[in-house]
């Protein structure tokens, strides 16, 4: 299990590095374009479009990390009032719903794949599957995590730490990295 944690930490760090690069790329492109427009009455047409695409990827990939850390919105007031068995049922039910949504996301992206692959971005000429294909990454990653959580909940193996994260009883200084 220790090797799995190391691999997980490496993957998370790599994804965080990608997010940093996407954000840095957005900042550089937008700042450069602002300076060029106001200082030199010109601009880079590529920067507006690419920064928008970077933002899409940043948002979707960030949602995966937020899901991993239980950072999305949740109804903790109801779950906190339940006993251990009720909490496990809520965890299983919510992760089953999330898994279903992830499957629909990937399936919908697959159904639209040919259309998105045939369209190109107006300025950079990039195939739009490179923009909308991020939903493959998001759906598969969130789906895999939801499936793992669902299996753990069905087997009754949700750790006390994870249950505290789910119910919002986790102290801010205790965030695991």
Which tens digits make up the pLDDT trace of 139-148? 999 999 999 9
For 26-61, give the DSSP string: HHHHHHHHHHHHHHHS---HHHHHHHHHHHHHHHHH
Instruction: Note the pLDDT of residue 4.
Output: 76
Which tens digits make up the pLDDT trace of 22-48? 999 999 999 999 999 888 888 888 888
Other C-beta atoms lying within 10 Å of the C-beta of residue 113: 14
Domain ranges of the chain: 2-174
Q: Determine the angle formed by the axes of helices 2-40 and 45-68, rounding to 10 degrees.
A: 150
**164 pLDDT above the threshold of 90:** no
As a whole number, the mean pLDDT across the chain is 87
Going by pLDDT thresholds of 50, 70 and 90, the confidence category of residue 168 is low
Going by pLDDT thresholds of 50, 70 and 90, the confidence category of residue 79 is confident
Give the pLDDT mean for 71-91: 79
């Amino acid at each position: 299990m220790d090797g799995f944690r190391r691999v997980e930490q490496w993957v998370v760090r790599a994804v965080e590095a990608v997010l940093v690069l996407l954000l840095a790329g957005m900042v550089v492109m937008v700042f450069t374009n602002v300076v060029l427009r106001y200082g030199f009455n010109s601009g880079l047409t590529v920067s507006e479009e690419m920064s928008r695409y970077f933002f899409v990827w940043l948002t979707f990939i960030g949602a995966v990390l937020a899901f991993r850390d239980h950072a999305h919105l949740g109804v903790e007031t109801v779950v906190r009032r339940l006993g251990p068995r009720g909490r496990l049922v809520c965890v299983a039910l919510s992760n089953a719903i999330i898994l279903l949504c992830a499957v629909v996301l990937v399936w919908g992206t697959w159904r639209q794949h040919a259309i998105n692959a045939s369209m190109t971005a107006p300025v950079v000429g990039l195939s739009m599957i490179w923009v909308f294909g991020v939903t493959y990454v998001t759906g598969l990653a969130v789906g895999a995590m939801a499936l793992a959580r669902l299996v753990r909940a069905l087997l009754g193996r949700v750790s006390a730490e994870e249950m505290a994260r789910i119910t919002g009883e986790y102290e801010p200084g205790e965030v695991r990295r």
